[in-house]
Structure 1
Amino acid sequence: SRFVASQMTPEIIDTMNVNLQQNNVDFRASGSKVKFAGFTKVYKRGKEKDNLLPELKEGDSAQMVSDDPAQHFTQPPARYTEAALIKTLEENGVGRPSTYAPTLDTIQRRYYVRLVSRHFEPTELGEIVNTIIEKQFPDIVNAKFTADVEDKLDQIEEGKQNWVRVVDSFYQPFSKEVSTAESEVAKIEMKDELAGMDCDICGAPMVVKMGRYGKFYACSRFPECRNTKAIVKDTGIPCPKCGQGTVVERKSKKNRVFYGCSRYPDCDFVSWDKPIGRNCPKDGHFLVEKKIKGGTQVVCPNGDYEEEPQK
Structure 2
Amino acid sequence: MNVVIVESPAKAKTINKYLGRDYKVVASYGHVRDLPPKDGSVRPDDDFDMSWEVDGRAEKHMKAIAEAVRGADKLFLATDPDREGEAISWHLREVLKQRRALKDVDVKRVVFNEVTRNAVLDAFRHPREIDRELVDAYLARRALDYLVGFTLSPVLWRKLPGSRSAGRVQSVALRLICEREAEVEAFRPREYWSVEVEFQTEAGDRFTAKLSHIDGKKLDRFDLDSEAKARAAADKILAASGFNVASVEHREVRRNPFPPFTTSTLQQEASRKLGFGATRTMQIAQRLYEGIDLDGDTVGLITYMRTDGVTLAAEAIAAARQLIGNEFGGRYLPPEPRVYKSAAKNAQEAHEAIRPTDMARKPGDVARHLDNDMRRLYELIWKRTVASQMASALLDQVSIDIADPSGQVRLHVTGSVVVFDGFLKLYQEDRDEPAEEEGEGRLPNLRDRERVTRGVVTPNQHFTQPPPRYSEASLVKKLEELGIGRPSTYASIIQVLQDRDYVRLDKRRFIPEDRGRLVTAFLTSFFERYVEYNFTADLENQLDEVSGGRVDWKALLRDFWRDFSTAIDGTKELTITAVLEALDAELGRHFFPENGSGADPRLCPNCGAGRLSLKLGKFGAFIGCS
State the TM-score, normalized to the length of structure 1.
0.48
User: Whose strand proportion is higher, 1 or 2?
Assistant: 1
Structure with bigger RCO (C-alpha 8 Å, 6+ apart): 2
Which has the larger Rg?
2
State the TM-score, normalized to the length of structure 2.
0.26
User: Whose helix proportion is higher, 1 or 2?
Assistant: 2
